[in-house]
Amino acid sequence: MRTGIPVASALLAALPAAYAQEQAPAETGGLQEVVVTAEKRVENLQDVPISVQVLDTKTLDQLNVGNIDDYVKFAPAINYVRGEGQGGNSNPGESHIYIRGVVSGGTNHTGSQPSVGEYLDEQPVTTIDGNVDVHIYDIQRIEVLEGPQGTLYGASSESGTVRIITNKPDPSKFAAGFDVQGNQILQHGSGYEAEGFVNIPITSTMAVRLVGWDEHDGGYISNVAGTDVNACIVNGVRSFPTWAAANGHPGVCPAQAPIGAGAISNAAYVRNDYNPVNTKGGRGALRWDLGDWTVTPTFMAQDVTTEGFFGYDPAVGDLQVVHFAPENSSDSWYQGALTVEGKMSNFDLVYSGGFFKRDTHTLADYSDYSLFYDRVYGSGVYWTGNNGLPVMGQELVVSRHDFEKWSHELRLSTPLDLPGKGTVGLFVQRQLHNIYEQYTMPGYNFVSPYGSPLNLNGLADFLSIPTLYQTIWLTDETRVDRDQAAFAQATWDITQQLSLTGGMRAYKFDNTVDGFFGYSFNYPFSSGMKHCFEGAIVKFAPCTDLTQRSDGHGTVPLGTLTFKATPDVMFYATYSKGFRPGGINRTAQAGVPPYSADFLKNYEIGWKTQLFDHHLRMNGSIFREDWNDFQFSFLGLNSVTIIENAASARITGFENNIEWAPTRAFLGSLNFQWINPYITQKVCSGGTQCPDVFGVPSATGSYLWAPAGTHLPITPDFKGSIIARFNLTPMGKLEPYFQGNWTYQSSASVQLRVDQGGIVGSMPPYALVDLRLGATYDNLTGELYLTNAFDRLAQLSRFTQTAPTKFDGSPTPVDTQPYIVPAQPRTIGIKVGMRF
C-alpha cells in the first residue's frame, strides 16, 4: 500500500497541469455520450436513474481488459473470490462475484442461487457454482447495475447485474481488425494472445460479424518439495497420523513415515510455474434488417483448459505449494441466441431467447481432507484395502458439472416521447445442473486417479461405491431450477423536470434436486446408501437417497422519483427490492429444514451530473440496504454444505464515479466505493438458545459464530481506482500516449464466522499499478505495458480445502492449512493491433 499511494498522488497531481492546457481552444475536447440499455431500452447513461458503471469499447481496449479478473479491478461495487476449497483448483471459472457487499460466504452446487446476475447480451448466463469467465474482445460495453434489479432482471439479480454487450454486425460498412501480444511474467512463465474480428456486409440490410481469440497465460505457482509442518509435510513428504500410531489416533503429526507405508511424496509432480491457462473461442452474429424488424441470431463458444493449482501455501513459501497428484481443469461452453426487434404500431416489441450449455471438468488433489480428518477424527482407521491393510490417504476429487439453460423473454415498450412510458414483459427460464463429484482413494503409486481394478493399493471394494472403483464418496445429482415471471415498469413525467417510475415483478420458482450423495453401505458412517429409498435414477449412483423440491412465488416492487434540475444535472431517489429463491438441504441431520427465500431492500439517493460543457462528469449515490433472513452456508457433518436463514444485515455505502477531460490531451477518472456491511443479529450454530461468548455452548449445544456488528465477508470497506491517460504531442501521423492506473482495496475478511476467520485469516489491503506507453499511426497501434508494476502479492481470496473447525459448531480447529490465491505477479508485454 505504501508504494501505491505516491503513484496515485502523482497521477492526481498531473490533473491541474493537464487542466492548464485547456487554454488552447483547438485542443479542447469533452466527454462522449455513453449509451446503455440498463432499463431494457436505449438511453443516455445520464438519463437513467440507476447506479450504473460502464466500461465502453474504448475503455476496455485502453485498459487491456481480457477477462473477469481485469474488469472487476475497475468496478468498485464488485468484489469477488477465486475458489473456496472443497476439492477445486481455484482456476479461472471458479470465481464468484458480489455487488455492494451482499455476501455471507460459502457456495455450493446444491446451495443458494447467486445474488448477482450475469448477462451476455440479452440472455442470462448465470450459473450456480461459479461465474462464466467470458473473454472480453470486440465488446461494445460492460454495464454494472448496482443494487437490486429484481423488477427487470429477476431472481439472480438480488444485489445487482453484470451485462456484457457485444458489438453487433453493421450492414453499412466493412470493418476488420486484429490484436496480438506477447508477455512475460517476470521470473515465471510467458504468454501470448491473438485476437481478431471482421464485419462483412452481405447486402444493404444484412451483415455478419465474426470474432476469434487464442490465448496462453503463463504459470506462476510452483509445486515444490517444500515443508508445512502444521500440515504434516516435510520436504515434499506428507505423513498420516493413523499409520504412525498403529491405527490409534494421536491427533498430531507423526515422525516421517516410509513413503508408501504411512507417507506420500510429491516427487512425481514437482514443477515450476505449473498453472498455465489456455483459452480459445469465437463468436459469430448475423444481422438482418426487414423493414421495421431486425433479426439477430448469435453463437459464441469458448474453451478454457488449465493445469495445476492457483493458490499457494504461505507456510511453504510465496507462490509455492506441496501437492501430491495431477491437477487440471477444463471449462467449455457455448451459447446460441436469437433476438427479434420490431414495431407494432408505435410500440417496440422485443423477443430474446437463448440456449446456454457449459461443461466443467476438474481433477484435484484432496489429501488435505484425508490428513486433517485423520488427525482430528481418526478417520484413517477405516481406510483399508482388499488385503485388509491400511490404504494411504491420497485422496483425489474428480468433478464434472454440466449446465444447460433455456431462457425466453418477450417485452413490449411504449414510445419514449410520451409523457407516460413503460415496459411490460414475460420471462421463463429452465436451468439444468448435472452434478458429479467422485472422491477416490486409489492408494499410493496409483495407476489411475479415477479408480481402477489394477490399483492393488486402493480402497477396498466393499468400502467403495459399488458402481465405481476405489470411491469413498460420490455426489451424483440432477438439479433443475424453473423460473417464471411477469413484469411491468412505467414512468410518468409529472412535469418537464419531475418524473415518477413504478415497477413490479411477479415471480414463481420451482426447483428440484434428485440423486445420490454419500458413502457406500458398508462404510461406518450413515450418509449415503444407508438412506437410499429407491433404485438409481442418475447414471453412476448405486441408488437414490435424495429427492426434494422447493417452490414459491411472490412480488418485488420498484419506485423511483427523478428530478431533472437542468439538462445536465439529475437527482433521483429509489426504493427497490431484490430476492433470491429458497431451496433444500441435502443433509440427513435432524432438525435441518429447507431454507427460505431471502430479500434485499434498497434505499438510494443518487445523482448524475455533467459540468463545464461536458468536460466533467460526476455520478454517484448513497444507499442503505437491509438484507433480511439472509442465506448462510456452512459445512456440516462429512463436509456437506448446510444452508440456513441465519440473521439479518445492514449495508450502508457511498459510491462516486468522476471523469474529467479538460483537453483532448488528457482523460482522468476516479472511481470508488466506501461501504459498511455488517450483521444486525448474532449468528449461531443450531439450537434454540444462542450464547453471548465464543467457545462456550448454550444449554442446547449452540455456539456463537458471529456477534451482531460483525463485518460481512469478502467486501473491503474501501475500493477504488484512478486512471490517467495522456495523449502526448503528435509527431506527424505518430500519436504517442502514456497511461497509468492505480487500484486499491482495504482489508477484508473471508469468513463470517469469527472462529473460522481466525484460522483462515483475512485479505490484507493492497494497491496495484499498471503502466502503458504506446502510439498510434493511422490504423496501427503499438503498446508496451507493465502490469502489477511493483510486484505486489495481492490476495484475491483465502480458503481451506475443507472445514476449518469441527462440524459440531464448536471452534475446535480442523483444517488449519489456508491457501491464498494471488494476483498475477509483475508482467511485461508488448501489444500490436490494426484496424481496417
Residues in contact with 460: Cβ distance below 8 Å, sequence separation at least 6, in sequence order: 384, 385, 386, 388, 391
Whether residue 26 is predicted with pLDDT greater than 50 in this model: the reply is no
pLDDT in tens, 547-570: 988 899 999 999 999 999 999 999
Q: Which of 112-116, 118-122, 434-438, 639-643 has the lowest mean pLDDT?
A: 639-643
pLDDT score of 262: 85
Q: Is the dihedral of CA 35, 41, 43, 46 positive or negative?
A: negative
Is residue 106 over pLDDT 90?
no
Question: pLDDT value at position 250?
Answer: 63
Instruction: Name, of 80-89, 250-259, 578-587, 755-764, the range with top average pLDDT.
Output: 755-764
When pLDDT is cut at 50, 70 and 90, the band that residue 11 belongs to is: very low
Residue type at position 524 = P
Q: Give the mean model confidence (pLDDT) for residues 255-262.
A: 83
Choose the weakest-confidence range: 101-110, 358-367, 709-718.
Answer: 101-110
In this prediction, residues 120-131 reach a mean pLDDT of 85
Q: Is the pLDDT of residue 248 over 90?
A: no
Task: Name all contacts of 445-450 with Cβ < 8 Å and 24+ positions apart.
Answer: 445/260, 446/394, 449/325, 449/326, 449/363, 449/396, 449/398, 450/398
Q: C-alpha distances in angstroms, 87 versus 110, 436, 667?
A: 15, 12, 45
pLDDT-derived band at 244, boundaries 50, 70, 90: low
Residue 21 above 70 pLDDT? no
pLDDT at 614 over 60: yes
Q: Where in the chain is the domain with CATH 2.40.170.20?
A: 4-211+219-278+290-346+355-581+600-646+648-681+711-835
| Whether pLDDT at 457 is above 90 | no
What are the φ and ψ backbone dihedral angles of 462, each rounded to 5 degrees? -75, -15
pLDDT at residue number 376: 87
Q: Across the chain, what does the average pLDDT equal?
A: 90
- Percentage of the residues of the chain whose pLDDT score is greater than 90: 70
**Residue 18: is its pLDDT beyond 50?**
no
pLDDT tens, position by position, 765-787: 999 999 999 999 999 999 999 99
pLDDT of residue 219: 98
What's residue 720's pLDDT?
97
404-426 pLDDT, tens digit per residue, is 999 999 999 998 888 889 999 99
Residue 807, pLDDT > 90, answer no
Grid cell of 142 as nine digits:
460492460
Average pLDDT over residues 817-835: 97
697 burial type by CB count under 10 A (0-12 exposed, 13-18 middle, 19+ buried): middle
Average pLDDT over residues 300-312: 97
What is the C-alpha separation between 135 and 301, in angstroms, rounded? Answer: 10
pLDDT of residue 10: 40
> Of 571, 631, 621, nearest to 600 (Cα)?
631
Vertex 43 angle, CA 37 and 47, to 5°: 120
User: 3-class SS at 244?
Assistant: helix
Q: Strands (DSSP E) along 666-824, which ranges?
A: 666-679, 683-684, 704-706, 718-727, 734-745, 766-777, 780-787, 795-799, 819-822
Amino acid identity, position 834: M
Structure confidence at residue 152 (pLDDT): 87
Q: pLDDT-derived band of residue 8, with 50, 70 and 90 as boundaries? A: very low
- With a cut of 50, say whether residue 4 has pLDDT above it: no
pLDDT above 50 for 14: no
Is 510 or 95 the better-scoring residue by pLDDT?
510
Average of per-residue pLDDT across 654-682: 95
Q: Was domain 4-211+219-278+290-346+355-581+600-646+648-681+711-835 assigned CATH 2.40.170.20?
A: yes
User: Judging by DSSP bridges, how do beta strands 641-645 and 649-663 pair with one another?
Assistant: unpaired
Q: What is the mean pLDDT of residues 198-220?
A: 98
Phi, psi of 523 (to 5 degrees): -70, 145
* pLDDT score of 453 more than 80: no
Q: What would the mean pLDDT of 110-122 be, rounded to a whole number?
A: 89
Q: Where is average pLDDT lowest: 250-254, 442-446, 511-515, 769-773?
A: 250-254
Mean pLDDT of 257-275: 92
Query: Per-residue confidence at 390, pLDDT binned at 50, 70, 90?
Result: confident
Please tell me the predicted confidence (pLDDT) of residue 647.
87
Q: Which of 283, 503, 265 is nearest to 392 (CA)?
A: 265
What does the pLDDT read at residue 1? 38
Quick one: pLDDT band at residue 5, thresholds 50, 70, 90?
Answer: very low
Backbone angles phi, psi at 5, to 5 degrees: -60, -45
User: Which range, 274-288, 542-556, 692-706, has the best average confidence (pLDDT)?
Assistant: 274-288
Separation of alpha carbons 483 and 553, rounded Å: 10
Distance between first and last Cα of the chain: 42
| Helix (H), strand (E) at residue 308 | none
* pLDDT surpassing 90 at residue 56: yes
pLDDT on residue 585:
86
**What letters, b where the CB count within 10 A reaches 16 and e where it falls short, cover 81-112?**
bbbbbbbbbbbbbbbbbbbbbbbbbbbbbbbb
Mean pLDDT of the region 616-631: 96
Q: Say which residues have a Cβ less than 8 Å from residue 595's Cβ, sequence separation at least 6.
A: 112, 582, 583, 584, 585, 631, 643, 644, 645
